[in-house]
Amino acid sequence: MTEPATEGAAPDGRREQMLEAALDVIAERGFANTRIADVASRAGTSAALVIYYFKARDLLLAEAIRLSEDRWYAEGMRRMAATPTAAGRLEELIAMSCVPDLWAQSARNDQVAMVRAEFDDHWRRTIADLVREGQRSEEFHPLDAEDFAVTLSALIDGFAIQIALEDGSVDNQRAFQLTMQFAAERLGFDWAPHRRRPAGAGRAADRARTTT
């Protein structure tokens, strides 16, 4: 649980404490039931101070998700940088994505949906760049990298919704393996199914329940 804010905390530190508190409350109650008063209580501060920093509840929620996604993306890039092959980096990227997805609720909130659109665009560009890198090293077959990125993102999003809804036919591991099989077939590299936990720890989506 997030530690309460202290009166001596630096302004930026206090702001981040509020965002951490917001993520905790979202994970427990969902977007619709997260109130500024709850976030303030969790952060050990006043609702008035939360409003001072974020102006409105929807802006607070959007900034909390942005913080979590930025951290998740940075950790993913660190893991990918430590992997020597394009196929291995693609596997890491897919493992990062096959987690319960808080974004399944985002259509109900315009501000959060805008953040999602921003990250989706960034994510598709990351996939396309990785495909082109693998094509240059001749690990991957020639195909349209942008089209592949859109298709792979849509596949991952579909699985994420099923995972979030706790579909009995699709868990994290099955989503990961099916997505990797699709990528290997389309890009032309060898991949054998194996047990691996999707690497989503630390992402807001991985912390959240599917409360609406």
Span 16-70, pLDDT tens digits: 999 999 989 988 887 778 899 999 999 999 999 999 999 999 889 889 888 888 8
Q: What are the residue ranges spanned by the domains of the chain?
A: 11-55, 68-207
CA 44 to chain centre: 27
Residue 6 has pLDDT above 60, yes or no: no
pLDDT, position 10: 43
The pTM assigned to this predicted structure is 0.73
- 203 exposed, middle or buried (CB, 10 Å; 0-12, 13-18, 19+)? buried
Kindly state the average pLDDT of the residues 78-103: 83
Mention every residue, 6+ apart, whose C-beta is less than 8 A from residue 87: 134, 139, 140, 184, 187, 189, 191
Q: Which CATH architecture has domain 11-55?
A: Orthogonal Bundle (1.10)
Q: Which CATH superfamily is domain 68-207 in?
A: Tetracycline Repressor, domain 2 (1.10.357.10)
Kindly state the average pLDDT of the residues 4-16: 58
Is 172 in contact with 196 (CB distance < 8 Å)? no
